[in-house]
Amino acid sequence: MKKPEILLALVLIFFAASCDEKKKITSPEENKNIFKGTITGKIFDICEGVPIKGATIEIGVDGEVKKIATDDLGSFSLKDVPITEYQNLNGSFIFSGKYLFTISLRDINLKTTIAKEKYRDYYYAQSSLKFARLDSGKYASLVAEVNIGLGKLKTKIRGKVLDQNRKPVAGAEVFINDYFFSNVNYYKKTETNGEGVFVFENIDNGLTFTIFARTKDGTQRGYLPSPLNLPCNVEEYALNEQFSSEAIVLNPIDDVNPYVISLYPENGADVETDNFKIICEFSESIKQEPYNTINESGYGGIVDDIALTYLGPKKATASNLPIKIEWQENYKKLIITPKDKLPGGAKFRLNLYPALSKLKDLSGNNCVNNQNLIGDFELLFFSTKSVDPVLTAPVLSRRMGFGYLPINYDGGLVGFKIEADSRAIGFNIYKKIDEGAWELEERNFQNYVYETNTGELFSSQNSIPFKAKKIHFKVAALNRDLIESPFSNIILIEDEVKPQITNVELEPFNDGWVFFIYFSEPMNIFDAENLSNYTFENVGSTIIEKKRANYFATGGKYQASLEIKANQTLPPSYILRIKGIRDLKGNVMVEYP
């Protein structure tokens, strides 16, 4: 049963015309927007035909990483992706780029308890994409599409390795590799038993693979003659060595070029940080030249060409790490050791190609790529295991005094004290406004006292304050692996100051009077216009009729006007008593007078 070959099928527009040679983009700063594009695509189950929701896609190019999760339809769209190459076709540009895709299904797998319903945690693919124009014009929209089919780990593959006389070969090393991801993903390795039989467990259902075998001394090797298309919904697939198309036959190696026969760590491995070393073993001794032996960076030696890159705690910013090298076992084994201990719970990338491509054997033959080993001439990815436990939740408290005053409606400086496990190396501080989403305010904050300015504690509409604003804070402690603890308690910051009346003015108005009442902050309009909150005392025989109250908030001033009528002039002893009016948060005003 042949499956549709749609893994990494690129929907591209090609131009059938002669072009100038491909060039790297070095555009002027003002034209950078020309060289951005959108990469869209879908992640789906290749056998079931259903989209895979919640897969995380990362695309890396020129040190920049774009990240997004697939939606309910398995779709994703990454905008503003740098376009790194172009061709000039009679004055028109054809844009392209090389991209490293990292596809993570780890979160999906964690929710699945049935082993045969799981996928791999991570897939890596390196692809060259061409961008199609969706419209015309100087700044046309540029889009490339990539569709990726993945299979569940349901299938067991069984086969046999034979020698030239069709006899079983015991103890042979057998490797299985992704056919479509062959430049990036090294998959699995096993050995044949005493009867020459090998078994690979938990192989992706419905995908295509190549299988390679060799003797342990590297003198003989052989391949499955053609790629193996695994049928869908088959739990065990047995290769029949009686058929030439399914037999792996070892033959003596004719070439004498050196190559890497083993590499530690393997691609995708999760390793311990203690005594970590990268071990690169060659098929024969490597000629020792000045290039191979220089162990200090900056002198054009091998350590300058080996790039061990820290990618961060399962996220983050790349940086190259200093290393040292050592040759062992008659110069057949290269040991690469980081000068500093690797952090736990982090991702790394290893690039040996610039160095290995310059190595030669004792006869002067160049080191060549082992097509069945990922990491010698290709990028290798690995991670380190977490070494620190997740810390307990910190305690967050508000600091008062020492310059920290109660917060009024217009906000101000607030301070917090963080009490946490002594092993915490920093804190992630989160902030939420009203019922909105939590946002990371400070990453890896390096102090036990945190202060910030809240900004205004009210929302406005047409420049008129109409609603109080609440701001929430919480923190998480970070261990040495930068893994977050559970969150602390939440501290709520809101208007804490009672409003006051700052001034009252009286002016004649029509056949009565109007009081202009000025408040210290925005007030509740319903309270400010409620006549029952205004009373007159010590008026003697004067009869006062309260007509209406109106509230205004303009130009940063907050005032009410109270219109009254009276049967005679107000006596000098009168008192206008104002109370019960609340601000936007609900604080009741200080009674006036």
* Mean pLDDT rounded to a whole number for the chain: 86
Contact between 446 and 426 under an 8 Å Cβ cutoff? The reply is yes
Using CA atoms, how far apart are residues 434 and 509, in angstroms rounded to an integer? Answer: 43
Fold exhibited by the domain 395-493: Immunoglobulin-like (2.60.40)
CB neighbour burial string for 504-520, b if at least 16 within 10 angstroms, e if fewer: beeeeeeeebbbebebb
Question: Domain locations in the chain?
Answer: 9-150, 153-252, 260-384, 395-493, 501-578
What DSSP character marks residue 532?
G
Q: Report pLDDT digits (tens) over 159-177.
A: 999 998 899 999 999 999 8
Q: Tell me the two tokens of residue 558.
A: 């907050």
Phi, psi of 246 (to 5 degrees): -120, 10
215-229 average pLDDT score:
89
pLDDT at 125: 78
pLDDT beyond 50 at 13? no
Q: Report pLDDT digits (tens) over 228-284.
A: 999 998 999 999 988 888 989 998 775 678 999 999 999 999 998 889 999 999 998
pLDDT at 98: 83
Using CA atoms, how far apart are residues 206 and 188, in angstroms rounded to an integer? Answer: 17
Using CA atoms, how far apart are residues 171 and 175, in angstroms rounded to an integer? Answer: 13
Using CA atoms, how far apart are residues 100 and 379, in angstroms rounded to an integer? Answer: 10
Return the minimum-mean-pLDDT range out of 162-176, 306-320, 465-479.
306-320
pLDDT beyond 50 at 6? no
Using CA atoms, how far apart are residues 199 and 187, in angstroms rounded to an integer? Answer: 14
Which segment, 23-32, 33-42, 99-108, 310-319, is predicted with the most confidence on average?
A: 99-108
pLDDT band, very low/low/confident/very high, at 313 (cuts 50, 70, 90)? low
93-99 average pLDDT score:
82
Q: Report pLDDT digits (tens) over 344-403.
A: 888 899 999 999 999 988 778 899 999 989 999 999 999 988 777 889 999 999 999 878
Q: Report pLDDT digits (tens) over 546-576.
A: 999 999 988 889 999 999 999 998 999 999 9
Determine the CATH number of domain 153-252: 2.60.40.1120
3-19 average pLDDT score:
33
Give the helix, strand, coil percentages of the chain, each rounded to 5.
Answer: 5, 45, 45
CATH superfamily, domain 9-150, is: Immunoglobulins (2.60.40.10)
Evaluate whether 9-150 and 153-252 have a shared fold.
Answer: yes
8-31 average pLDDT score:
39
pLDDT beyond 50 at 19? no
Phi, psi of 74 (to 5 degrees): 75, 10
Determine the CATH number of domain 260-384: 2.60.40.1220
Return the minimum-mean-pLDDT range out of 139-143, 324-328, 340-344, 586-590.
139-143
Using CA atoms, how far apart are residues 325 and 385, in angstroms rounded to an integer? Answer: 23
The contacts of residue 591 (CB under 8 Å, 6+ apart) are 577, 578, 579
